[in-house]
């Protein structure tokens, strides 16, 4: 069975500053460990500063297009050349606010991967979908969009982040048991196509994760770490979450 390394990723969304880059990088560099990968996803203007600080850096989104007349978009190859390692694709805010379809997200996944970035594919259901028992159907369809376009093998060099939309920024969090059930569903689904790939795949949980609930969430067998929002803007909170992921709480 593959041994998966713990991962904690912080998505700053449209927040942050040069001062915060320094504070967070100092905190993260003080706890660096071979047991865990820590990644920050700052807004685009802070990417170069984050890379220079020594923290593994990701982009919050990426264009599905190759360079051309796409004002305001950012090319995956340029990000890779700058030193970016990861790219979020399919975050619920991109799906809902910017109307990115699962087909477009699969194209973004492909473009990021072709440039040498590691895509972090975000999947998750709305509150209405969760209440009507559609969680597995919705999550499966979001993953299948990538598999249909690129094949299951493309998931080998990727990360999946399960983020129930009803838990993002709301203070609501799936119970450890709820989150584990969906993570197991994802891993089992992929295992039905490629068992070795599924065992080695990093699957993160996101949705109001904080220093109080992270230990129990990360203790679940199929939860390999977290994609953190608000708590990634506070050094002490984020460090505590990272420590719980590597088992040093």
Which residue ranges make up the annotated binding site?
11-13, 169, 208, 229-230
Residues 145, 156, 96, 224, CA torsion sign: positive
- In order, the DSSP letters of 206-229 are -SS--TTTHHHHHTSTT--EEEES
Active-site residue 73, yes or no?
A: no
- Greatest Cα-to-Cα distance within the chain, rounded to the nearest angstrom: 49
Which residue ranges make up the annotated binding site for substrate?
11-13, 169, 208, 229-230
Choosing from 93, 125, 163, 211, the catalytic residue is 163
In our burial notation (b when 16+ CB lie closer than 10 A, e otherwise), range 59-94 reads bbbbbbeeeeeeeeebbbbebbeeebbbbbbbbbbb
DSSP state of 186: H
Strand-pair category, 56-59 with 159-162: unpaired
Active-site residue 215, yes or no?
A: no
Report the distance separating Cα 70 and Cα 63, nearest Å: 9
Choosing from 64, 91, 100, 183, the catalytic residue is 91
Active centre residues (catalytic)? 91, 163
């Amino acid at each position: 069975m593959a041994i998966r390394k713990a991962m904690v990723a912080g998505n700053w969304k449209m927040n942050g500053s040069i001062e915060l880059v320094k504070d967070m990088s100092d905190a993260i560099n003080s706890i660096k460990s071979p047991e865990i990968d820590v990644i920050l996803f700052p807004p685009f203007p802070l990417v170069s500063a984050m890379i220079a600080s020594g923290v593994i850096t990701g982009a919050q989104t990426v264009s599905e297009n190759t360079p051309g007349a796409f004002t305001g978009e950012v090319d995956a190859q340029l990000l890779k050349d700058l030193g970016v390692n990861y790219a979020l694709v399919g975050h619920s805010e991109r799906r809902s606010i910017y109307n990115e379809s699962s087909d477009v997200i699969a194209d973004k996944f492909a473009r990021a991967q072709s440039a040498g970035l590691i895509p972090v594919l975000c999947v998750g259901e709305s509150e209405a979908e969760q209440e009507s028992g559609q969680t597995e159907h919705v999550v499966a369809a979001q993953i299948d969009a990538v598999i249909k376009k690129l094949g299951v093998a493309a998931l080998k060099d990727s990360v999946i982040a399960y983020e129930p939309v009803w838990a993002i920024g709301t203070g609501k969090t799936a119970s450890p048991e709820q989150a584990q059930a969906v993570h197991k569903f994802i891993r089992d689904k992929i295992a039905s196509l490629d068992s070795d790939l599924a065992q080695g795949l990093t699957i993160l949980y996101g949705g109001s994760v904080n220093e109080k609930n992270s230990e129990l969430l990360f203790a679940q067998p199929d939860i390999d770490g977290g994609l953190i929002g608000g708590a990634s803007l506070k050094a002490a909170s984020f460090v505590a979450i990272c420590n719980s992921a590597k088992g040093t709480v």
